[in-house]
Amino acid sequence: MECMGRAASREQTDLGVEVNINRATKLMRTFANQTEALGRYRGKGEQKMTVEHVHVYQGGQAIVGQVSQKNIGQIVMNTNNRKLERSGCLKNGNPPGDPNRAPRCGAKTWLGKKCRAPAMRNGRCRMHGGKSTGPRTPEGLARSRRANWKHGLYSAEAKAERRSLRQLLKDSGDLLRRFGSL
């Protein structure tokens, strides 16, 4: 508004009028854009999506009807027998509906608090799934040993070779001392 007032002043030059009108125009355009962006950010307008043509192939599933946060996963069309059926549990055995009602992990975090992530069937979340029981079969144990192999410096073969080399050096030293004393 101040720029418009300066442009309307009687003692303003033609160049001053043009500059102030340009500034006022830019400021008004910026204000309108920011107001529109704020309205979108606050969610004044509701988004609507219409899907008119969908391919669902053999073995696939599609949601039929309107989709909102409240009814996701309630009605599913199975393409194998072409009839509507109610879907069961969600991933990891959690019941459908409000995800905030899912049981929580409860593992101790590095902050010392309980983990609030949704739990899987074993009672822990995907990050605190529990310690691995490790391999049990001979093949699994061998695969684990190969996977953890670094350099072999402390392997049984390397230790035995070092022992035999030390013994050889000791025997050689004893032999040299015996010949040296002759």
DSSP state of 60: -
User: What tokens appear for 137 in the block?
Assistant: 């079969």
Residue 18: count of CB within 10 angstroms of its CB: 12
Question: What span, in angstroms and rounded, lies between the C-alpha atoms of 115 and 128?
Answer: 9
Q: Which segment of 1-5, 61-65, 116-120 scores lowest on mean pLDDT? A: 61-65
As a whole number of angstroms, the distance between CA 159 and CA 96 comes to 59
User: What's the pLDDT at 11?
Assistant: 83
The 10s digit of each residue's pLDDT in 31-89 is 888 888 887 777 756 666 677 777 777 777 777 666 665 544 444 444 454 444 445 56
* CA distance linking residue 90 with residue 103, whole number of Å: 13
**Which of 27-36, 93-102, 103-112, 164-173 is most confident?**
164-173
What is the biggest distance separating any 2 CA atoms in the chain, rounded to whole angstroms? 126
pLDDT in tens, 126-174: 888 866 678 889 998 888 888 877 888 888 899 999 999 999 999 999 9
What stretches of the chain adopt beta strand conformation (E)? Answer: 61-63, 75-78, 83-86
Evaluate if pTM is beyond 0.95: no
Q: Please state the domain extents for the chain.
A: 2-42, 58-88, 89-131
- 103: pLDDT confidence band, cut at 50, 70 and 90? confident
- The pLDDT of residue 73 is 47
Measured CA to CA in angstroms, residue 41 lies from 47, 69, 79, 131, 162 at distances of 12, 19, 39, 43, 71
